Chain A
Amino acid sequence: MTTAKLPAWASQRVSRRHEKFIQAALFLCAALSVLTTAAIILVLVTNAVYAPGDKTAFFERVSLWEFVSGTHWKPTDGADARFGILPLLCGTLMVAVIASLVSVPAGLGAAIYMSEYASPREREFLKPILEILAGIPSVVYGFFGLKFITPWILKPLFSLVGIDLPIFNALSAGIVVGIMVTPLIASLSEDVIRSVPRSLREAAYALGSTRFDVSARIVVPAALSGILAAFLLAFSRAIGETMAVAITGGQRAIATLNPMEGAQTMTGFMVHASTGDSAADSISRMSIYAVGIALFVITLTINIISGWILRRYREVYQ
């Protein structure tokens, strides 16, 4: 079978059509994520802020001030229902801060070790294993925290100082989430650290620097913007974590910063409420969307700060 060869002008036209098709396909891919975000915002706003038709939105029944400043969260208490988000905010921030205290030193240390100290062979062995940690479902981490970390590690430790730790506590939830996000920080930071030009390291070694000097005073400052962005992404991830926290931290929404007590996070409440038996247009169900908006605003703010840090402190090498 023979194929007729196209003249040059026809070939160019086909090529241009292919270009346009590919461009349109790529635009659709990009637009899909934007449309998804817009749809999420629309769903949240039409249920929390302004509801069209017969429905009444959450903020049409509860004032924004009560929502932001209230210290009691009791959405299912009927006439005595209270909608102050501070207990959920305390739980969420407490878990995220504990998770950061666990994951930032561990993740950064692992990143520095893999990029600056480990041999290529050791690195090839370490990195995939660390990434396995990132691939474990969060519900498994939840049960790991509930069945292992709390009863086998934290309870015996606290009993030494005479404290009876409850089985559901924010400390355990924070540690579990910290373990979960450690690979994220390690992997992102390691990529950033490895992208620092080799010439900087070689110059430092030539001037008599030790590995610590090179790591802590040359490489980490040079990669600081990426490392900070990785921390903020991990913090954002810790705030959004749901199942592990819901299982380990319990469902008690109390405005406290004591990590030895149980804590309900914003995502934990959303799971709890959406699987409950409240009516679809009840205020307790609508409160899911209000909490969703608060969560969206928090994570969006952190991501914007992360992007700003990345741009502001980026070191460009040629």
Chain B
Amino acid sequence: MSSTDAVSVPSSGATSSPVSFISGADSSIRRRLFLSRVFSGLCRFVTYAALAVLVVLLTAIIWSSLGRLSLDFLYNTNSSNPTKAGMLAGLWDRSG
């Protein structure tokens, strides 16, 4: 948290620490600090949402491929039988 955000806003009549140089009656400053916190939370949310998308994407791909990945899939080439087809032709030689 920034030095500016760290400035505490005492509730009305509060006298406890930390020392604040913001008047309790200054609603404008309260609003600005609130806005700053909301904005910070929003930016954090969208950043981590992008990471969440990455996690979901990888999970979805791995989940869909479970049970289909095998050495046969890696070593086999094109085949009219989908259960025997592999990706070697795509990796190594187009003609298979």
Chain A residues within CB distance 8 Å of chain B: 105-106, 109-110, 112-114, 116-118, 126, 129-130, 132-133, 136, 140-141, 143-144, 147-148, 179, 182-183, 186, 205, 208-213, 215-216
Partner of A133, one of B40, B43, B50, B61: B50
Q: A130-B51, A136-B57, A148-B60 are in contact. Are A211 and B46 (CB under 8 A)?
A: no
Partner of A212, one of B3, B36, B44: B36
Partner of B47, one of A126, A179, A208, A210: A126
Q: A109-B42, A110-B46 are in contact. Are A213 and B32 (CB under 8 A)?
A: yes
Q: Are A205 and B4 in contact (CB under 8 A)?
A: yes
Cα distance A289–B4 in the bound complex, in angstroms: 58
Chain B 53-93 interface 0/1 with A at a Cβ cutoff of 8 Å (1 = within): 11011001100100000000000000000000000000000
Q: Are B46 and A209 in contact (CB under 8 A)?
A: no
Q: Are B4 and A133 in contact (CB under 8 A)?
A: no
Cα distance A209–B56 in the bound complex, in angstroms: 38
B68 to chain A, nearest CB (A): 13
List the B side residues contacting A109 at CB < 8 Å.
42-43, 45-47
Chain B residues within CB distance 8 Å of chain A: 2-5, 32-33, 35-36, 39-40, 42-47, 49-51, 53-54, 56-57, 60-61, 64
Q: Are A210 and B60 in contact (CB under 8 A)?
A: no
Cα distance A183–B53 in the bound complex, in angstroms: 12
Q: Are B43 and A129 in contact (CB under 8 A)?
A: no
B54 to chain A, nearest CB (A): 5
Q: Are B36 and A211 in contact (CB under 8 A)?
A: yes
A132 to chain B, nearest CB (A): 6
Q: Are A110 and B47 in contact (CB under 8 A)?
A: yes
Cα distance A136–B54 in the bound complex, in angstroms: 10
List the B side residues contacting A114 at CB < 8 Å.
47
Q: Are B32 and A110 in contact (CB under 8 A)?
A: no
Interface pairs (8), CB distance under 8 Å: A109-B42, A109-B43, A147-B64, A148-B60, A211-B5, A211-B36, A211-B40, A212-B39
Q: Which residue of A lies closest to B35 (CB)?
A: A212
Partner of A113, one of B32, B35, B44: B44
Q: A208-B4, A210-B33 are in contact. Are A132 and B43 (CB under 8 A)?
A: no
Q: Are B5 and A210 in contact (CB under 8 A)?
A: yes
Closest 6 A/B residue pairs (Cβ): A109-B46, A113-B43, A212-B36, A210-B36, A110-B47, A212-B39
Q: Which residue of B lies closest to A105 (CB)?
A: B46
List the B side residues contacting A213 at CB < 8 Å.
32, 36
Cα distance A41–B37 in the bound complex, in angstroms: 51
